[in-house]
Structure 1
Amino acid sequence: MLHGFIPPHRFFPYLTWTEIEALPDKENIVIVQPVGAIEQHGPHLPIAVDSVIAAGVLGRALGELDPTIPAYALPPLYYGKSNEHWHFPGTITLSATTLLAVIREMAASLYRAGFRKLVLCNAHGGQPQVMEIAARDLHQEYGDFAVFPLFVWRVPHNAGQFLSDRERAQGIHAGDAETSILLALLPDQVHMDRAVCEYPQGLPAGGLLSLEGQLPFAWVTQELSRSGVIGDATAATRDKGEAILASVAAGWVQVLTEIHHFQQPKIPQH
């Protein structure tokens, strides 16, 4: 069905225009745009991984959210900025400019309909900066539009306890965490007999620079990995994936609840 992982009563496209027009307190309804990617994730995972995780985590969270909190999911935005993976067949990428335009025009449509809270639920590590630029520009253009550029994995969760120290530091793509959560969400599309463990070679040892984090350097995947995997996919299990999914979804329940009650800070008028 079209709603996929999203509970049907929380799926925005299933509403009619008259139902949308009649929604009460639209200023505090939370609209969530799942944002993923279609890009290589090694020989063992489908190219839809990030889109699956965005929709799967959000769907679990919306199913657990207090029914009195009005929140709806839009259809996933499957294509993202994935040019770091474009040397691998199957990767489909938008430019940063195109992705930014799509988000801005989608958001403007919601604003015209009366909504004032939009969450960008992004699951692809190559585009948080695009989400942040879109959010800031939208809020600058529409001063009463609260836009939240959020990364799926940055909500409170305990996924790290299931991963090795090296995996937490370097397992950034198609490794243990992503493979485990796909085993929980889409097990028939995971090929564990093809799973590999591959970490980047030649990284600065003991220095300040890293693949991601506070002081990153630019890279493309073919410089770091022959298989397209950056991490240890062989360590993944479905039980681990279920635990990670439950923990991350619970964090999203907290965040969506807070966003529903959020009011944009303003300097008091004298």
Structure 2
Amino acid sequence: MRSPVHVGERVPPGTIAFDVLTRDELNPAAAGTTLVFPLGSTEQHAHHLPTRTDSACVDAIAHRSARLAAEQVPVLVAPTLPFGCAHHHLPLGATLSLTTSTYVDLLCDLVGGAVREGFRSVVLLNGHGGNDSAIRLAVDRLVHEERLDLHIAAASYWVLADDVLRAHGFASPGHAGHFETSLMLALEPDLVHLDRRVTDPTEWTPLGRPDIPGASIRRPGLWEASDGRTDDAARATAELGAALVDEIVAVVARFLVRFHRSTPAGGSDVAGAFVSHQPAED
């Protein structure tokens, strides 16, 4: 049991979850703490993975990274947002999605409220490729249109850890394939149904094949034709997933420390950041 905390004291050491703390603990800590919002999605993940896959992965990565970063800087993690921009999955069912405009409004409301409560350093840690363009809009709106006194970073975890993915042979995380299945085997194996994996005749479905570089291209019907998968996950293992999680967490933790220290609350006067690229498919 946590010992009592009085008004004015800091968040207890080792505590990084926003939703287990009281206002007496959170309010005094807000101005000097980086608040991380993990952004997930609830969507179909082929025949063998649960719809919570994106949310489960980013939740685990956010909390493990924050615990590691909290050894050096004050970090808190907000509850993971389980809904995102996933309209491209709707034709396949098993998906709960927000429109881009609703999602941007939601992010701006959540972050704007946190700023009014005293937070000045915020990270949007994304776990779903469909959210990528929306988090760009939200960051720009918060800083340039609403002109909040805020240092904010937005990044997909696989972009921060691009070197990790490439070292393991992944150009991108893909969707419901080798990468995500490995992560879920390490994180929530009871929800993975390996006996339902589909074996494809080629390494990549049409959805996962490289596109023309430098452009965002959308082709109607491609998701349905690919059965909502980029690859068949035949090589996925829990051991690979555990290694990926550990290495990704280390990279994200270093980013959180570096970003916190780049803000006025962390010791210098440097503007906020955006870290992203056009995702493969998710």
TM-score (norm 1): 0.84
Give the deviation of 1:251 after TM superposition: 0.6
2:183 aligns to what? 181
3-state SS, counterpart of residue 94 of structure 2: coil
Q: Distance in 1 between matches of 2:57 and 2:93?
A: 21
1:70 aligns to what? 74
Q: Is the 8 A contact 1:81 1:127 kept in 2?
A: yes
Give the deviation of 1:17 after TM superposition: 1.3
Give the deviation of 1:116 after TM superposition: 0.5
2:96 aligns to what? 92
3-state SS, counterpart of residue 73 of structure 2: coil
Q: Aligned to 1:149, which of 143, 154, 161?
A: 154
Give the deviation of 1:22 after TM superposition: 2.1
Listed as ranges, the matches of 1:29-108 within 5 Å are 29-108=33-112
Q: Distance in 1 between matches of 2:225 and 2:252?
A: 31
3-state SS, counterpart of residue 251 of structure 1: helix
3-state SS, counterpart of residue 154 of structure 2: strand
Q: Distance in 1 between matches of 2:194 and 2:188?
A: 12
User: Could you say if the C-alpha distance between residues 217 and 197 of structure 1 is closer, same or farther in structure 2, counting changes exceeding 3 Å?
Assistant: farther
Q: Distance in 2 between matches of 1:229 and 1:12?
A: 34
Offset from partner CA, 1:94-128 (integer Å, 9 cap, x none): 00011111111101110011100111111101111
Q: Amino acid of the residue matched to residue 162 of structure 1?
A: H
1:222 aligns to what? 223
Q: Distance in 1 between matches of 2:16 and 2:217?
A: 39
In the alignment, is residue 258 of structure 1 matched against residue 255 of structure 2?
A: no
Q: Distance in 1 between matches of 2:166 and 2:186?
A: 17
User: Could you say if the C-alpha distance between residues 160 and 68 of structure 1 is closer, same or farther in structure 2, counting changes exceeding 3 Å?
Assistant: closer
Q: Aligned to 2:24, which of 9, 12, 18?
A: 18
Q: Is the 8 A contact 1:38 1:92 kept in 2?
A: yes
1:3 aligns to what? none
Give the deviation of 1:260 after TM superposition: 1.0
Q: Distance in 1 between matches of 2:108 and 2:222?
A: 28
3-state SS, counterpart of residue 103 of structure 1: helix
Q: How many residue pairs align between the two structures?
A: 248
TM-score (norm 2): 0.81
Q: Is the 8 A contact 1:159 1:247 kept in 2?
A: no
- Segments of 4+ moved more than 6 angstroms: 202-205
Q: Is the 8 A contact 2:115 2:149 kept in 1?
A: no
User: Could you say if the C-alpha distance between residues 45 and 203 of structure 1 is closer, same or farther in structure 2, counting changes exceeding 3 Å?
Assistant: closer
3-state SS, counterpart of residue 86 of structure 1: helix
Give the CA RMSD over aligned residues: 2.3
Offset from partner CA, 1:156-214 (integer Å, 9 cap, x none): 34233333xxx636x61111111100001000000111112443339988xx616xxx3
Offset from partner CA, 1:8-39 (integer Å, 9 cap, x none): 8110111211222222xx43411000101000
Q: Is the 8 A contact 2:174 2:231 kept in 1?
A: yes
User: Could you say if the C-alpha distance between residues 49 and 8 of structure 1 is closer, same or farther in structure 2, counting changes exceeding 3 Å?
Assistant: farther
Q: Is the 8 A contact 1:181 1:244 kept in 2?
A: yes
User: Could you say if the C-alpha distance between residues 203 and 175 of structure 1 is closer, same or farther in structure 2, counting changes exceeding 3 Å?
Assistant: closer
Q: Distance in 1 between matches of 2:215 and 2:225?
A: 18
Offset from partner CA, 1:39-91 (integer Å, 9 cap, x none): 01100000111101110111221232242411000001001010011011211
2:212 aligns to what? 209
Q: Distance in 1 between matches of 2:119 and 2:147?
A: 11
3-state SS, counterpart of residue 212 of structure 2: coil
1:168 aligns to what? 171
